[in-house]
Chains A and B, each alone.
Chain A
Amino acid sequence: MTRPPLLRLAASAVVAGLFAAPAWAQDAGRATLDGPLAAPPPVPTGGDLPVPADIPELHAADDDPIGRRFVEPPPVPEAPRGLGTVVEREQNAAFAGAPLTLDEALELAAANNPTLVQARAQVQGTLGLAVEAGLWPNPVFRYVGEQIGVDREGETDTPGEFQGATLTQEFVTADKRDLSRAKFLQRTRVAEWAAVSQQWRVCNDVRVHFYQALGAKETVAIREDLLKAAEDAVVTAREQWNLGQATRSDLHLANVALQEARLNLLMAENDYLEQFQTLAALIGLPLETGAVVGELDGESAEIDFEQVYREYLDEAPQVIMARQKLREDQITLKRELVEPIPNIFVEAGSGYNFEALETTGTASVRFDIPIFDRNQGNIRRAEADLVRQRREIQRTEMLLRRELATQYRRYLTARQHVEQFAEVILPEARAAYKNQLDAYAEDRQQWPDVLTVQSSYFDLRQRYIGHLVALRTSETLIRGYLLHDGLNVPDPLPPGHLDVTAQPR
């Protein structure tokens, strides 16, 4: 808006006076006219005002005097890339690939998830240790040349008093080999339970992400209906505009809601893509995105916290693994306790005695005398490991209880919501929606109100899907011993203090 010159002059004068008028300048107007002037602030004009980025065709008619002349309603905004109107979309592109059921997904994962192979390899590796630890020590061959250059009377130096060879064999005492083998076999059992854990992790994750993908797919369907409702709201607003029952602002806001509904649908599709590809990664195959097929809904037995926890104490791989490890530690202690009993090294050989000029034999027996090193340090460590592992079992049990408590809280919340949504909230919302439709059919309700209730119903169904996914996730994790992360490296075996020695014992 351009100000009249006089007004602009006066405004400039006042502003300038505020900045520049000295104390003597009581007459601000005269002083600013006669005295030195601060630069007046620029007077904004219509042409100088900043104009926000605009879409001319959307708002062309808004330049008409508001409410003085009928103008056509603003055009419906174009759909974002990849999204037409619901009418135009016969099938959602997100579900174009081959369908996938939960059983198929589990089978594929069992065959292709790399961590399962890793876990099995870990078992094999540990078994190798058991083999290795139980093997006899190799005999030691030794060439012996003693006192080379000994002078013999009448002769110069001889090749030596004795030239020959010996074989030394270490005789492992105190069943050390058996104990070592037993120890590593026990560790193999630990590794086997680690592999079982990994199978649970993979299965649980496949189930959880299958349900999440299923939920995402159903959310897409509901978002499509919400988009239909938003499209209807746009058409309705345009009808209202034609009847003088809506303002231009209402139409713009309807366009906004439409575009948001479109984005929400795209977002739901993106979510589905992510969920499906996450599932495919867990399966271990680069699958083309298709539709997951299954039911989120359905009856499931109620879970009792204490009962589940008691089952955990008996069955959970984590607990069993810790107990197996305790057994291993007990064997380890036994093994370390016998370590001071010296192995016997028996050596025997034969050679030629150049002094006696005849073939002679040699034999020796030796063993350590456990005076200083009675393996007391390792025994102490093994004892400490035993204590640690006993507490590890307890820690595992408590950790499970804590995680179960967290998951059980989610389960309870989800189950309560699912039940109430299924039994009360959705039927009530559906009844309200039906009621509105019936009222509309009898000319007793207005369509915008019907649309509002309709959208509420679809929103509630979307929330119901979220609760169902949460319930299935919690159920899966609780039934599956809280194991998840099926793409993580299988659990490393629990540490042992002598694992790094070249020859396991």
Chain B
Amino acid sequence: MSAAEARRSFLKAGTAAAAGAFAANAVRPAAAQENPRQDPTPAPGAPTDPPGGAQPRGENDVRADYDGFSRYQPSRGNDPDSKWYIGKEVPGFRRGEEGPAPFIAPDVEKLPYTMENGWKVFRLNCTPVRREFLPGYYIDVYGFNGSMPGPTIEATQGDKIRVIVKNDLPEPTSVHWHGLELSVQDDGASHLTQNMIEPGKEYVYELHPHEEGTFFYHSHVAMQETFGMVGWFIIHPRKPFDPPVDRDFGLIFQNFRIDPMTTVVDSWGMDFNWHTINGRSGPYTTPLVCRHGERVRIRIMDFSPIQHHPIHLHGHTFWVTGHEGARVPKTAWIPRNTELIAVAQASTLELIANNPGDWALHCHMTHHMMNHMVQHVGPRLRGQADTERYTANLETRPAVDLNSKALGEVPPGYPQMMQGMKMDPRAMEKVWNRREMKGMRATAPKTIHGLFTALRVLPDDLYRLVMESDEPVEKGAVFAEIVRRFGDYGRYQWAPMMNMNGGMNGGE
């Protein structure tokens, strides 16, 4: 039995999700494909029942259906004025009294604190950072505590917070607490409210946040901001927001100008060519993974130097429930598919993950969906991408066919060659060696570029397979299973396996 077959067997035998899996389905006629949405008998792995069953007990109890809106199926509801419309106030599974859901900013650590006489004391060092934007691409930026973005500061409304900032940069700095209504001497506006923190020196900020919501801290030196000096400052409400969410994700979108052959940010550059989400570029961004039916909050902040980002989520309609200033009253929530977020703004989106699948979450500016935009003219366009014939003898160069007629045979605009990507197998291993990527289509990294990540909505069993088990999962298996359960498997085509070392399972 081959490794692939063994893994298929696992999915068949080891998980309920894969009970009717691929081997059997692959030989069925397309017309006989099981479609759970039309099958009155719940198939194994059908929508997960909420705790306590699907029957409502009270108005805000967790249930499957709310006035025509389904937690488990794409749906709108019956009345735009209803509190359940597009899942507006549909609660998550988590009970409000359990407190806020853990804030998760993928690829960014949380800043620990110590309690000292009732103060939460955080230590923040301003440091140069070498951040791996993509596997093998180590970019020189600035950040905090060796991280760019800096570690997340998490607090609760009403805390007494002391942040001891040490400047380990070679130049003065100061730290601004963006959005807080604080004492002016602690605002961190360089020169305006304080002397700069000289290299090697410390400055203590004392904060008494009466606010709750999405905030952030950043250097108040423009070029240092361009170098990436920012971090989340999440202040949870003393009284948890209603409805409670199951997931609370945070994504910081950033741009950098880094010339193609350097690793150093050009802080003067105006033409941004590297794009990161929480310090990583697609396909190295870490997908957000949630369970089918959960209520999900995604906080997105734009800390690009000068560019806005229209953030688009596929497969769902979300409610904009807050910005960086404050939670928006429910009467002003807006349902959207795309949220335009300007520089230094943050938006909070909430949705019921009622549509299983791997859903693109990305900036819709086309140049933000790629890195290092280079023209593809030259030998590459002539089918001679291999430059060895140039490097074999640098003292002379190969001739070109000046009489080439090829250009007249293709329509204007072709070929741009922007539809592909090239990454060495070891880099691809790094992309795939993350739990959050398990079971995605093998070609997923071909489109996850730049300001691009994915929201994975997985039925409970598949969620556990991906996020809680160490079982190997074949590339595309989870996705295919979702198609099998919720789509039309007869029309589904597996992704080619992208010529990776190790064959179909390479990189795992």
Residues of B within 8 A of A434 (CB): 391, 394
Check B402–A445 contact: CB distance below 8 A.
no
Indicate whether B377 reaches chain A with its CB closer than 8 angstroms: yes
Check A238–B378 contact: CB distance below 8 A.
no
What is the minimal beta-carbon distance from A190 to any residue of chain B, in angstroms? 51
- A interface residue count range (under 10 / 10 to 19 / 20 to 34 / 35 or more): 35 or more
What is the minimal beta-carbon distance from A432 to any residue of chain B, in angstroms? 10
Query: Which B residues between 288 and 314 are near A, CB-CB below 8 angstroms?
Result: none
Given the complex of chains A and B, what is the CA–CA distance between A236 and B401 in angstroms?
Answer: 11
Given the complex of chains A and B, what is the CA–CA distance between A229 and B379 in angstroms?
Answer: 12
Indicate whether B332 reaches chain A with its CB closer than 8 angstroms: no
Contact with A along B247-270 (1 / 0, CB 8 A): 000000000000011000000000
Check B261–A440 contact: CB distance below 8 A.
no
Which of A87, A229, A440, A446 sits near B401, CB closer than 8 Å? A87
Which of B260, B374, B398, B407 sits near A239, CB closer than 8 Å? B407
Is chain A's binding surface mostly helix, strand, loop or mixed? helix
A232 with B400: in contact, given A239-B377, A446-B374, A447-B379 (CB under 8 Å)?
yes
Looking at B55-63, B161-169, B319-327, B409-417, the stretch in contact with chain A turns out to be B409-417
Residues of A within 8 A of B404 (CB): 235
Residues of B within 8 A of A244 (CB): 412-413
Residues of B within 8 A of A70 (CB): 412
What is the minimal beta-carbon distance from A345 to any residue of chain B, in angstroms? 84
What is the minimal beta-carbon distance from A242 to any residue of chain B, in angstroms? 5
Check B386–A444 contact: CB distance below 8 A.
no
- B interface residue count range (under 10 / 10 to 19 / 20 to 34 / 35 or more): 35 or more
For B400, the closest partner residue in chain A by CB is A232
Check B400–A231 contact: CB distance below 8 A.
yes
Check B375–A430 contact: CB distance below 8 A.
no
For B260, the closest partner residue in chain A by CB is A444
For A71, the closest partner residue in chain B by CB is B412
Is chain B's binding surface mostly helix, strand, loop or mixed? loop
Which of B387, B400, B403, B414 sits near A440, CB closer than 8 Å? B387
Given the complex of chains A and B, what is the CA–CA distance between A73 and B407 in angstroms?
Answer: 9
Given the complex of chains A and B, what is the CA–CA distance between A235 and B408 in angstroms?
Answer: 12
A242 with B402: in contact, given A439-B261, A447-B378 (CB under 8 Å)?
no
Check B412–A228 contact: CB distance below 8 A.
no
Given the complex of chains A and B, what is the CA–CA distance between A144 and B374 in angstroms?
Answer: 116
Which of B385, B394, B416 has the most A CB atoms < 10 Å from its CB?
B394
Given the complex of chains A and B, what is the CA–CA distance between A244 and B386 in angstroms?
Answer: 24
Given the complex of chains A and B, what is the CA–CA distance between A221 and B393 in angstroms?
Answer: 14
Check A437–B402 contact: CB distance below 8 A.
no
Which of A221, A245, A454 sits near B377, CB closer than 8 Å? A245
Residues of B within 8 A of A236 (CB): 377-378
Indicate whether A435 reaches chain B with its CB closer than 8 angstroms: yes
- Where the two chains meet, the residues of A that have a C-beta atom closer than 8 Å to any C-beta of B are 70, 72-73, 76, 85-87, 221, 225, 228-229, 231-232, 234-236, 238-240, 242-245, 430, 433-448, 450-451, 454, 457, 461
Of the A-B pairs whose beta carbons lie under 8 Å apart in the complex, a sample of 7, sorted by A's number, is A87-B402, A239-B378, A243-B412, A430-B394, A437-B390, A441-B387, A445-B260
Q: Which 3 A-B pairs have the closest CB atoms?
A: A447-B378, A239-B377, A444-B260
- Where the two chains meet, the residues of B that have a C-beta atom closer than 8 Å to any C-beta of A are 260-261, 372, 374-382, 385-387, 390-391, 394-404, 407-408, 410, 412-414, 416, 422
